[in-house]
Amino acid sequence: MGRPGPLSLNTITVREQWSLEQAIEGCRRHGITGIAPWRDKLAECGVERAARLIRSAGLCVTGLCRGGLFPGIDQAARRRAIEDNLRAIDEAAAIGARCLVLVVGGLPPGSKDITGARAQVRDGMMAILDHARRSQMPLAIEPLHPMYAADRACINTLGQALDLCDELGEGVGVAVDVYHVWWDPDLARQIARAGRRILAFHICDWLVPTRDLLLDRGMMGDGVIDIPAIRVKVEAAGYEGHCEVEIMSAANWWRRDADEVLRVCIERHASSV
């Protein structure tokens, strides 16, 4: 299957142990060449300072997490989401990110209208797209597993995400996270359809049993996802970037020494991706 692309650390993998400064230094120390910060840690560090530290460490910023969360209960809430996404675009540009990852949002409080929520996502993206294009910041829609449709993301398949990309046009692509798409019987066809609109490739594993719907992701090789098979499809579609490890694990990996976590990530990237 060939060797995987280089490794990037999504900082949520060590969010409980390290600040962004520590994560940057950890990547440098372990020879990891990419990093994907989350905005809360970026704010703690300061955008300008983070940009300097990342450049000094020679890291590729594979993405900024996250924008999105567009649906709102009223116009004011939707406007606040748009304004926050405009700020996120500026932050992503300031640190040289390859894309701004969008977790688009679920149902507004009290709503049962998922079709309406998806329309709000489209409208919200349309409202920020000109600024993203002027900033040369690609927007990467990340479809999330259907279990998150109500509260986190009403875009749940790669096909849905690509339909939205087709509608919005230039400057919009997708983030393929194996945790969210591995189950999809149409995955191979949709990856091929995505082609070079794949802006990010996220890796972790699906544990059986999964004890928490959000915070029990597995290290690559510990679960049931055929990660190498998906990687090969993504690469065949034209993706040439990093493999970004993104593990949310309250009961396991967040409790371990962060240097140990990075060592295991490096080992499994070589053996299980």
Give which of 253, 243, 258 is closest to 63, Cα–Cα. Answer: 243
* 23 occurs within a structural domain: yes
CA angle 141, 14, 103 (to 5 degrees): 15
Residues shown for the chain: 273
Q: What is the pLDDT of residue 148?
A: 98
Rounded CA gap, 270 and 273, in Å? Answer: 6
| CATH code, domain with 57 | 3.20.20.150
* 65 occurs within a structural domain: yes
Q: What is the pLDDT of residue 265?
A: 98
Which of helix, strand or coil describes residue 32? coil
* 161 occurs within a structural domain: yes
* 74 occurs within a structural domain: yes
* 217 occurs within a structural domain: yes
CB-CB contact of 72 with 78 (8 Å): yes
CA distances (Å), origin 4, targets 96, 132, 157, 158, 262: 23, 30, 24, 22, 17
* 120 occurs within a structural domain: yes
Q: What is the pLDDT of residue 65?
A: 98
Q: What is the pLDDT of residue 271?
A: 98
* 2 occurs within a structural domain: no
Q: Which domain holds residue 183?
A: 7-272
* 1 occurs within a structural domain: no
Rounded CA gap, 231 and 213, in Å? Answer: 24
Q: Measure the CA dihedral 126/34/156/197, to 10°.
A: 60
Q: What is the pLDDT of residue 1?
A: 72
- What's this model's pTM, rounded to 2 decimal places? 0.98
Residues of the chain predicted below pLDDT 70: none
- Count of the separate structural domains present in the chain: 1
Sign of CA pseudo-dihedral 28, 32, 34, 36: negative
